[in-house]
Each structure stands twice: as C-alpha cells, then as structure tokens.
Amino acid sequence: MSDITLAVKGLRKTIGRRTIIKDLSFELKRGEVFGFLGPNGAGKTTTIRMLVGLIKPTSGSIHICGLDITKHFTRAMRHLGCIVENPELYPYLSGMDNLRHFAVMLSGIGQKRIDEVVRLVGMQERIGDKVSTYSLGMRQRLGIAQALLGRPDVLILDEPTNGLDPSGIREMRAFIRTLAEEEGLTVLVSSHLLHEIQLMCDRVAIMSKGEIVRVDTVQALLASEERLVWKLQPLDAGKEALGQLTRILGEEDERLITAYSAGEAGEWNRRLVEEGIAVLEMNRKLPALEDLFLELTGGESID
C-alpha cells in the first residue's frame, strides 16, 4: 500500500449558483498530522463533511487508502474514523452502550477492542454511566474512543480541543501526536486556535473563501516569513542606509523590518556601523502562524 492515505483532487461544491468550495487538492501521508486552518466561512467544515461522506461533492474525487468514497463508500469508510464538530453521542445510553452501538456497525469489532479503546482514552471508571452525566471533556474522549474503534488509518477530527481545559488540551495534543508517531495514523485536524495547529501539526493547509491558499510544513511556512527587526539611530539615516542594502518591508514603533537572511545579516550590520549608525537592537523574529495567516488571508477575521 502506498504512503498516501487520503487524496483529494479537484474537490468542488456548488450550492445553487454559489461555489463554496473551489478545486481543493491535497494529499496526506501515513503518520502525519495535518492541520486545516481558516476563518469562519472559509469552508473547513464543508470540506471535512465531504471527506467523511456527509455531503456529496459537486465534482472532484476523494480517495481514502486508494478507495474512492463515492464509488466504494462502505469499503473506504472502514479506513476512516472521525468526529465532525462536537462528539454528539446518545445521551440516554451509557458510554459503553454507545460504543457497542457503533462497534456493531463495524465488522469484526468485539468487546475486547471496545475495552481497549476505553482504556486508551482513560474512561474505565465512568464508562457504565449515562452520557448525559458526562462533562464535555469526557464526551470528547468518548468521541475519540468511538473514532478509534475500527482501527482506522485516517482520523479526522474537527476542533478536537474544543471545550477542553488547558490540561485537557495538552493531553489531547500529546495523544494525537502519539497516534500519528507510534500507530502511524494520518490525522487531519481543523482548529481555529492557531497556536494549537502550530504545536500539533506537521503540515498546514490555510483556507480562505473556499480555497486552499497555501499548503506547507509548519517549519517552512514560518521560515519563509522570518523577519529581522532593527532599531537604528538616527532613524532616517539608518533607514536610507539599510534601504540600500535590502528591501525594507515595514516600519513599526520606530523599528525597521527586513527579511532575515543568515548569510547577509552580519554584513548588513557591519556596513551600518561603518556608516556611523548605531544599531541599538537587532532581533530575529519567528512569526507566529497568526501573522502569517492574517497576511495570507488578507486580514480576514479569525474567530
């Protein structure tokens, strides 16, 4: 089997005359955590719902482990585990009955596997209680247990840290990393928390207005946008001198911003000093994904 577990090609969804998803294409590899990032209304949820078969694409194809989900829906779904939005389970059944209910719908999943996932998410003590008595965090964990029941190759989680407390978020992050690194799962997460994605994902797709603006590894995205922030005195002379050396990208609080270049930064500094300009501060700045995001989506609001 190839290393590509989820392949999306030319995915498009039109409702009426409005095209809400425009030609998405991306591929996910085994053992990778992939992040989906975008402001409200960018089409993250619609895309995820198409991936899991809840919405039929207008055109384009989705392959899970090589199986087209429109042609071989049931076979493709055997490789997929998911939580779409909140993990909604039957509140009037116990956690165990919920898991049994979903296990029945997968072939060859017995009580042994159920006990295994319950242990995996640490729910042994409360599993016999009704779901209506669970906290949001426990529901989230039960939701993950449910998604893992069928030993999926691809796990799709929409907002997995929603409603968790800080320690729960850290736990969840570690858990997702473990799944990818040790079990070799492909995990696709969407989140509105940018630093979440930054901490958890290997690669990120940034979506805006139904399109993927950019797909890259988190490191590459951040590195390409590394900045050098200068504080020079006197400012005007410094600005002119620096402008001859490299392009000035911006000015903020009497500080000048240029691109960072490991090879040339030292040279720039020497030349400025030679021209009698005092370099008071010289900071290399790794941008947060947030800045990058705002830049790429043209300042659309993030929730």
Partner 1 sequence: MINLVHNEMMKLVGKRRFLIISAIIVVLLSLFTYAQARQSESIRERLGTDDWRTGLQQRIVDWQNRLSSAGQWREQLQIQIEQSQYYLDHDINPSEPGAPSFIRGFVENSAELFLPLMVMIIAVDIVSSERSVGTIKLLLTRPVSRFRILLSKYIALVLSVSLVLFIFGLLSYVIAAVMFGGKGWSAPVLTGFAVRGGELDLSGVRLVSQWQFILQQFGLAWFISLVVGTLSFMLSILMRSSAAGMGTMLACLISGAILSNMVSSWESAKYLFMVNLGLMDYLSGSAPPIEGMTLGFSLTVLAAWMAGALAVSFGVFIRKDIY
The verdict on 286 binding partner 1 (CB under 8 A) reads: no
Q: Which is nearer to partner 1, 147 or 218 (CB)?
A: 147
Residue 94: both structure tokens together: 């116990």
Would you count residue 284 as binding partner 1 (CB under 8 A)?
Answer: no
- In angstroms, the Cα distances linking 255 to 267, 270, 273, 290, 299 are 19, 18, 17, 21, 22
Residue 243 engages partner 1 in binding (rule: CB under 8 A):
no
Give whichever of 93 and 248 is closer to partner 1, judged by the CB atom: 93
Taking the least distance from each CB to partner 1, the nearer of 49 and 203 is 49
267 near partner 1 (CB under 8 A) = no
Phi/psi region, residue 85 (left: phi>0; alpha: psi -120 to 50; beta: rest), is: left
Select from 59, 70, 105, 273 the one that contacts partner 1 (CB under 8 A): 105
Of residues 4, 93, 245, 248, which one binds partner 1 by CB under 8 A? Answer: 93
Note whether 14 binds partner 1 by CB under 8 A.
no
Nearer to partner 1, 49 or 126 (CB): 49
Neighbouring-strand partners of residue 285: 227
Residues sharing a CB contact under 8 Å with residue 141, sequence separation 6 or more, in sequence order: 121, 122, 123
CB of 53 to partner 1, least distance (A): 6
Give the Cα separation of 123 and 108 in Å (integer): 22
Task: Give yes or no for a contact between 88 and 158, defined as CB atoms under 8 angstroms apart.
Answer: no
Closest distance of CB 130 from partner 1, Å: 9
User: Cα(46)–Cα(211) distance, rounded to whole angstroms?
Assistant: 12
- For partner 1, the binding residues in 44-73 under the rule CB under 8 A are 46, 49, 52-56, 73
Report CA-CA distances (Å) from 211 to 32, 68, 125, 281, 298: 22, 22, 44, 39, 13
Total binding residues for partner 1 by CB under 8 A?
Answer: 33
Q: Provide the binding-site residues for partner 1, judged by CB under 8 A.
A: 46, 49, 52-56, 73-78, 80, 82, 84-86, 88-93, 97, 101-102, 104-107, 146, 150
